[in-house]
Structure 1
Amino acid sequence: MQCLTKLINDFNNTIDAWIAELGTFDFEKLITKPDAESWSLGQVYMHLINETDYYIEQIEASTNNNANLSQEMTDIGKSMFRSNAFPEVKIKGDPASTDKIQQPQSKTGLHDDMLALKQRMNRAAQSLVNTTATGKTQHPGLGYFSGPEWLQFADMHLRHHLRQKERIKNFLANQH
């Protein structure tokens, strides 16, 4: 596992790139879906906000107790953390699942939510520095993560969606 300073710096660099890129799209482009099985860029942002918010909750929970100390990640989780990245697999959803992620209400709202998310994560990272608790909480499919591992996972997740963002950007650029 990486040191906390590097983890939060990596997270901040990645989320800053997402925030900066948001400014390059008008709202219509943000809500345009390439096809029925794909998300719009706005939905990708909404997904990132929702998931990262959950990861922050897990960091906060891990700093409040020493539960699950003997629990481990799955082998797939360990592999992901060793490579500091998600596997390079494109997951295509069905139209029903892609509609579960809401379209954003506004570009300004997305921007504000991303900034608030960054601030919350930085507060959560600071709580990792200030606590003696080293508990773990369970990821739904990858086993148990400590607070610093949830922080690293949040950055890995943001970076994982960069390829998806590029595919959608290419679609939007070639739209007539």
Structure 2
Amino acid sequence: MLLQNSFPDIKIKGNSYIPVNDSIFINTTKKDLILLLERSRVLWKRINNENISGKAEHPGFSYLSPMEWYQFAEMHIRHHIQQKKEIENKIKSS
């Protein structure tokens, strides 16, 4: 998965119930995403410029190094963006 830099193109059945939280607004989400991007850039610089060793356990993917965690996070976000596009396409076509 990390070598291919993407999750496999398979559907995994999960919990179909997703609670709706009406207190989340678009502007708040955008601000949170901008903050996340800024923090991500700082983290990227640390990972690349410091001699960091060791691994931390991921509950589903064994142990990951800091660089692997960073790669995994980017892949995860990209995966959700693709899921969003698929949902939007289904809505448009129905």
TM-score range relative to shorter protein: 0.7 to 0.9
TM-score, normalised to structure 2, is 0.82
Aligned to 2:2: 81
Cα offset, 1:103, TM superposition: 5.5
Answering whether residue 85 of structure 2 is matched by residue 166 of structure 1, we say yes
Q: Distance in 2 between matches of 1:145 and 1:94?
A: 26
CA distance in 2, matches of 1:114, 1:102: 17
Output the aligned Cα RMSD: 2.1
Residues 104 and 110, structure 1, Cα contact 8 Å, conserved in 2 = no
Query: Normalized per residue, which structure has more helix?
Result: 1
**Structure 1 pair 126–105 and aligned structure 2 pair: CA distance change class (3 A):** same
Q: Does 1:116 align with 2:24?
A: no
Aligned to 2:24: 105
Specify whether residues 82 and 95 from structure 1 end up closer, same or farther in structure 2 by C-alpha distance, changes over 3 A only.
closer
Q: 1:104 to 1:171 in 2, by over 3 A?
A: farther
Unaligned runs of 5+ in 1: 1-79
TM-score (norm 1): 0.47
Amino acid paired to 1:150: W
Three-state SS of the structure 2 residue aligned to 1:87 is coil
For the residues of structure 1 that align with 2:67 and 2:29, how far apart are their CA atoms? 26
Question: C-alpha displacement at 1:161, in angstroms?
Answer: 2.0
**What is the deviation of 1:144?**
0.9
The 1:113/1:82 distance shift into structure 2, 3 A limit, reads same
Unpaired runs of 5+ residues, structure 2, are: none
Mapped contact 1:128–1:147 kept (Cα < 8 A): yes
How many equivalent pairs are there? 94
4+ residue runs over 6 A deviation: none
Residues of 1 paired with 2:81 and 2:23: CA distance? 18
In 1, are the aligned partners of 2:55 and 2:64 still within 8 Å (CA)? yes
Distance 1:102 1:142, change over 3 A: farther
- Percent of aligned positions that are identical: 35
SS state at 2:57 partner? strand
